[in-house]
A and B are shown apart, each in its own frame.
Chain A
Amino acid sequence: MLQLINVARTFNPGSVNEKVALREINLHVSPGEVVAIIGSNGAGKSTLLNVVAGVYEIEAGKVLLDGQDITRRPEHLRATWIGRVFQDPLRGTAASMTIAENLALALRRGRPRRLRRGITPAERQLFKKRLALLGLGLEDRLGTRVGLLSGGQRQALTVLMATIATPKLLLLDEHTAALDPRTARTVMELSEKIIAQHRLTTLMVTHNLEQALRAGTRTIMMHEGRIILDLSGPERMRTKVADLLKMFEQVSGSAFADDRVLLTGS
């Protein structure tokens, strides 16, 4: 499904601020796999997602999606296949536009925008049905501007937007990190439900180590631009958070340093 071959990316090359964000990343993700990505500060987790999404170009290597080389495709063209949810709830929605308009924009992901009607009546019905599944009462507020919603409501809406036109690949970049614990749990459960429903291949960056082991099918740990641990199957089932920290120290030779890491489930 998704293949990264020898991918490398350096920020500010040749300057004092030079930072190697990714070095020789090789990753193969099979269809339906849900990969949780963890790692210390500046490990390259978000960069990895942004490289897949096409936000950053890469200096070396290749990005393949479904066997197709997409390395040179700009971000807006890759969006045809990729759904994304950002960490900041404000970044995934257009605040001045209504719930229905936001969903209509998302429904047309990867399609050309023409002089056709922006929202059809049939689409409104679809939006109502999908919104009802969120259980937040948004189905009766199609005409409400998104700026009036809470952060949790906006993030739940963004998850729906990222998946309403079923993507081949879903990228979740710490999408519950900015929410309060209760809302974070709701949004996470919602995401897992949608992922299971459509069997979405997913890459999910998280700071919650418990979640990284429990949710999804595979756990990847990054450090200084490399993948230093790759767990799946029965081995992953047996692993506990404490083991994860120990393995990190062994492989990296330093303590797991992440300001925001959560060792237990929230």
Chain B
Amino acid sequence: MSLSVWLGALEQGLLWGAMVLGVYLTFRVLDFPDLTVDGAFTLGAAVAAKLILSGYDPWLALLAAILGGALAGLVTGLLHTQLKVAPLLAGILTMIALYSINLRIMGQANLSLLRVETIFTGVKGYTALVPFGPALLGALLAALVLILLYLFLQTELGMGIRATGDNEQMIRSLGVNTATMKLVGLAIANALVAFSGGLIAQYQGFADIGMGIGMIIAGLAAVIIGEALVGSQTLARALLAAVIGSILYRAIISLVLRLGLPATDLKLLTSLIVVMAMAFPLVRQRLGLRALRLRSEQDAAANQRSQDL
């Protein structure tokens, strides 16, 4: 397999890394299965693409994407904390609403960025960096997000959010408004997702209304792969695992595509990865119990024999 394929997987993995961190923040840290992600990713792409095409600076467009994502997360959070809508439903409601909003922002189902300046046209211009420009920029941005999130989760506010996901009753008894924590957590998570959407739109040269479909499952698959291989014993490790999981997930996808599977089968494959990862601990436990049972039966039989003698 050629270098360019692996390089592509690395670039995508890094750029999708912020999205995976967002999924990690909701699913794992806040314990809130947030389906807003699918809509927020497209929202980020739509906002960034629209602003760039309107002549704004691509970095400014990214900033707007981040704010849009935060707003989407806030809506889901308000649905849940104020109207007491269940987390899954709150996320779906926002996601569906975002579909219409994204179409309105873009004005059509697809916006091309091929002939305009993006954050990547700059780095592609440096001949010294070819062909590693986009990967370096991606690594830089992923590292920045990783470090900021790591520092944030160790502030008073960040720790309040972590404790809310861990034990709501306990942290409320320590004087924390858990509704506020959920709002802040969801806003940050979806800001990360939209940031990633804005990056991907610029990277692949277009924003598409369907590009967010299944994003939540792709993010979850990456989180699970990362946890399995890197571990999640400490906070730093868990965050790193999310980004590495993101890269590995893209590598697996590239590999499978190389093997001749049509790109349209990707969603099926992603679902299967998540199902397998979720079934794994259960299967292992069952096998372990069976082994124990077999051993105790053997022991009992051996005892019986020695008594018979």
Contact = CB atoms under 8 A, between A and B. Distances in A.
B292 interface: no
Interface in A84-117: 84, 86, 91-97, 101, 104-106, 108-111, 113-117
Contacts of A95: 166-167
Interface residues of A, number: 33
Contacts of A101: 159, 162
A95 B165 CA distance: 11
A53 B156 contact: no
A161 B158 CA distance: 19
B266 interface: no
Given A91-B169, A97-B159, A105-B163, A117 B174 contact: no
B54 interface: no
Contact of B157 (A76, A82, A115): A115
A71 to B, nearest CB: 18
Interface string B145-174: 000000010111111101100110111111
A124 to B, nearest CB: 13
Interface in A33-77: 53, 74-77
A108 B130 CA distance: 51
Interface residues of B, number: 23
Do most interface residues of chain A lie in helix, strand or loop, or is the interface mixed? Answer: loop
Contacts of B166: 94-97
A153 interface: no
Given A97-B163, A114-B156, A76 B176 contact: yes
Interface of B: 152, 154-160, 162-163, 166-167, 169-178, 181
13 contacts: A76-B172, A76-B176, A79-B174, A82-B173, A84-B173, A94-B163, A94-B170, A97-B163, A105-B176, A109-B175, A110-B174, A113-B159, A113-B181
